[in-house]
Amino acid sequence: MSVLNQKSVLDMIKDFRRNWHTLCDSERTTVCGADSMLLTLQLSMAENNKQHCGEFTVSLSDVLLTWKYLLHEKLNLPVENMGMIDHYEDIRRTYDAFLKNSNMLDLIDVYKKCSVIASNCETNANISPSQLQDFLSGRQYAIDDETDLYVPTSSMSKHNQDNEKVKLLAKKIIYSYLNLLVNSKNDLALAHILNIPDRGLGREAFTDLKHAAREKQMSLFLMATSFIRTLELGGKGYAPSPSDPLRTHVKGLHNFINFTDKLHEILGEISNPSIAGSRILSVIKMQLIKGHNSRDPFYKAVEEVAQDLDLRIKNIISSQQGDVAVCTTDISPARPKSYAINHGTAYCGRDTVKTLLVLLDEEAARAPTKNKAELLYDDENTSHHNGTSILTLFRRCKFICWKTNNWNKFWKCSSGQK
């Protein structure tokens, strides 16, 4: 059986985009790639452990065991002789609810939805469940891992590895900003960038924001936006209570919302997607490198990633010209109340949104990270850039259940307060 490659996965996502109106509720639904799927599973398992054992944590071995089972179970592959962790059904419900509330679909959901309309998804017929399972589990790395396992690490290769890690971090941050720009419900993207660069919005601010989002039944981004708008525009009768925990983080939240406003303004005011894309990347780049020395590896990585993505956007636009059946057509401005992110962008920047979706889809189709421990647990790579691992951020908050049919969420904080 042939190895499933990134192009085949991306072609599947393109089929999904062409038929989005029959497959999902929002044209701005974003696709959750392999790494994000694993991060979401990790959070779901940690929450399950918190409910049953009192600790919001989970071991790498348990995550990988459940990851293997999840892939087989969702793809309807045999699971009879596979190990299954306790409370798997609860974990699966939490996982599905997290994606739904974040307006995301994972690659298996995309595969299944395309299978429903197989006649319109020709490339999907060329992908088997076992091929997709191999791709998501990183099976294509097996041979390389065996040959490279005992190669000693020289000082030069260590230096190159460190630079590569910093570049991957810069790429993750910039993609998270773009993801949130397209999909304001994406809590995972917001968690990556809320305090990058440093805005004084660490774990405590993240916890307070999530508690407020629970009460208002909003996404994290919309809750932050609502809070700042109320302070800026609301009268005394609408002002948040003086005891509102978010008041402690006004400066940081205002900084964050003001910055995202700039991105939305570019999206809504510049109709040319090439110019808008370049401007958006430039604004993000300048925000990230501010205060850094030009010789700083992070400074260089941000500049390099921004330049690469700018070129990729131009290539996407070039390939779309003259093609009436582009993979993300029909981004409709007809329902601004439901689909606008901010500043009326449902009416403007349609071509830019389509281009950004293609860019995000390409990233979602990337092969999974080889080093799972580093992906899930490594705080060291982000500590110098005010980042915190996703598991650490969410550890301060505890959600009891997410109802899958609506936005109602029932939470309690890790201290046991109800």
Q: pLDDT, tens digit, for every residue of 185-203?
A: 999 999 999 999 999 999 9
Residues 154/162, Cβ–Cβ less than 8 Å = no
Residue with tokens 């059986």: 1
Give CA angle at 160 (156, 165), nearest 5°.
145
What tokens does 361 get? 């889809």
Q: What is the mean pLDDT of residues 34-56?
A: 93
Residue with tokens 């809590």: 187
For the chain, the maximum distance between any two Cα atoms, rounded to a whole number of angstroms, is: 67
Give CA angle at 35 (34, 39), nearest 5°.
120
d(CA 169, CA 226): 29
d(CA 126, CA 376): 32
Whole-number percent of the chain with pLDDT over 70? 77
At residue 119, the pLDDT reads 57
Give CA angle at 36 (35, 39), nearest 5°.
90
| 410 backbone φψ class: left, alpha, beta (φ>0; ψ -120 to 50) | beta
At residue 198, the pLDDT reads 93
Beta bridge partners of 32: 106
d(CA 46, CA 94): 10
Q: What is the mean pLDDT of residues 82-108?
A: 93
Q: pLDDT (tens digit, 9 = 90+) per residue, 336-347?
A: 433 344 444 445
At residue 93, the pLDDT reads 96
Indicate the length of the chain as a whole number.
418
d(CA 44, CA 46): 6
At residue 394, the pLDDT reads 82
Q: Structure pTM?
A: 0.84
Residue with tokens 């924001």: 209
